[in-house]
Amino acid sequence: METAVARHAFDELMVPVYAPSTFIPVRGSGLDLWDQAGRRYLDMTGGIAVCALGHAHAALVDVLHDQARRLWHISNHFTNEPVLRLAKVLTEATFADKVFFCNSGAEANEAALKLARKWAHDRYGTSKTRIISCLNSFHGRTLFTVSVGGQAKYSDSFGPLPPQIAHIPYNDIQSVRAAMGEDVCAVIVEPIQGEGGVFPADVDYLRELRRLCDEKNALLIFDEIQSGMGRTGQLFAYMGYGVVPDILTSAKALGNGFPIAAMLTTESLAQTLVVGSHGTTYGGSPLSAAVAYKVLEIINTPTFLARVTEAGDTLRAVLEKLIAKYPTVFSVVRGKGLMLGLALTSAYAGQAREFRSAAEKNGLLLLVAGPDVIRLVPALIIEDKHIHEVDVLLDKSVKTWLATA
């Protein structure tokens, strides 16, 4: 018999690193979530850009059940059929020749950064170790990746931090030029900054990063953990920019909620890592790989990706209409495809969370990207009826919020 639980159990039992909502979701289907009381919510968070195919997608449920009856886990003393199939389709669909599978975006970035450091060490010696990242970036919660991410609030009090990491403003070409020296082994960047406010990179900025990395014999790493897997209307955002990295990291939507992540790279770079130099217990398990293979099969088609672009344009139009109606409240829409940020004006700076709470009261689930930006990263299967409902609920939520602000 299941033990009954309520929200207060979180405060009593869990390490307080999160501050979850007052309700507990218990069931989902597509973009719909229901709580313990049976109330429905329209989910525009997608599990923070994870559930690209929505909640409880029937095809993924079938694949998971089928694989669970066959093989769950066998350790890295063996390989398995699902992971080899997944590696084949990922490399065929991207610039990469080789893949390393792990469990989370932080692990994928950790692997990418370790690869870059070891590659530089083996090729150039101990003087080429510096990593350049961007202010307000987010690359994970391990000590290495939280140090590389340019947000002090996530790394304060955890020192001493790994050294030889520099942070520069995002989209600032001159800052990159000033920071790039012969001691740089890698530059890591999000083609679209997610947690930092949903800022797309300028194409000239990414092109200059590529040129400078080539000039200074440094590696270019694209963190596509949030922007990848169809989120921008391309399988990965780099494809829309026409700038190819040396290493790419993917997670979140890769498994639609089943934990899996990948570091993709070239044949020559992959040879830097040898047996025993890196690893993970659960990475690339038969269960996770089988699910991810199906996710990729569904997403990576011209028809599906074209619909993401179409839906993104429609949703953007809704947000632009909201700005026109409330110009003193909202200022601009940023992002690509179905990765969009709605920025508050200076008059309402710092109140993104308050607006999110008002929306939740009206049955609409939203995210924030910093204190001043509302973030929408819904399931990529969003339909026009959902976007119409967002339109109605956003307007209702603005009224609710302003009435109490």
The answer to whether residues 114 and 197 belong to one domain is: yes
Is 385 one of the annotated active-site residues of the chain?
Answer: no
Which of 248, 273, 299 represents a domain boundary (last residue)? Answer: 299
The answer to whether residues 190 and 335 belong to one domain is: no
Query: Whole domain around residue 323: which residue ranges?
Result: 8-56+302-404
* Active-site option among 100, 222, 246, 252: 252
* Active-site option among 100, 101, 128, 138: 138
Averaged over 296-303, what is the pLDDT? Answer: 98
Whether the Cβ atoms of residue 134 and residue 167 lie closer than 8 Å to each other: yes
Q: What is the pLDDT of residues 207-222, one digit of tens each?
A: 999 999 999 999 999 9
Q: What are φ and ψ of residue 279, in 5° steps?
A: 180, 180
The answer to whether residues 144 and 77 belong to one domain is: yes
The answer to whether residues 140 and 175 belong to one domain is: yes
C-beta atoms surrounding 266 within 10 Å: 16
* Active-site option among 43, 223, 246, 372: 223
Q: Which of 403, 329, 394 is nearest to 365 (CA)?
A: 394
pLDDT of residue 214: 98
Q: What is the pLDDT of residues 174-186, one digit of tens each?
A: 999 999 999 999 9
In which residue are the tokens 């079938």 written? 62
Which CATH number fits the domain that encloses residue 320?
3.90.1150.10
The answer to whether residues 243 and 384 belong to one domain is: no
The answer to whether residues 126 and 15 belong to one domain is: no
Averaged over 9-20, what is the pLDDT? Answer: 89
The span from the CA of 381 to the CA of 301, in Å, is 13
Q: What is the pLDDT of residues 48-57, one digit of tens each?
A: 999 999 999 9
**Percentages (nearest 5) of helix, strand, coil residues in the chain:** 40, 20, 40
The answer to whether residues 173 and 227 belong to one domain is: yes
In a domain, 397, yes or no: yes
Determine the residue type at 343. A
Residue 356: which pLDDT band, with cuts at 50, 70 and 90?
Answer: very high
The answer to whether residues 353 and 231 belong to one domain is: no
The answer to whether residues 182 and 255 belong to one domain is: yes
Helix axes 286-299, 302-325, angle to 10 degrees: 70
Residue 336 has pLDDT above 70, yes or no: yes
Of the ranges 155-164, 188-197, 306-315, 345-354, which one carries the lowest mean pLDDT score? 155-164
Residue 3 has pLDDT above 90, yes or no: no
Is 252 one of the annotated active-site residues of the chain?
Answer: yes
The answer to whether residues 87 and 137 belong to one domain is: yes
Is 223 one of the annotated active-site residues of the chain?
Answer: yes
Residue 1 has pLDDT above 70, yes or no: no
Structure token pair of residue 342: 């709605």
The answer to whether residues 195 and 104 belong to one domain is: yes
pLDDT of residue 160: 84
In the chain, the number of structural domains is 2
The answer to whether residues 264 and 341 belong to one domain is: no
For the chain, the distance separating the N- and C-terminal CA atoms, rounded to the nearest angstrom, is: 45
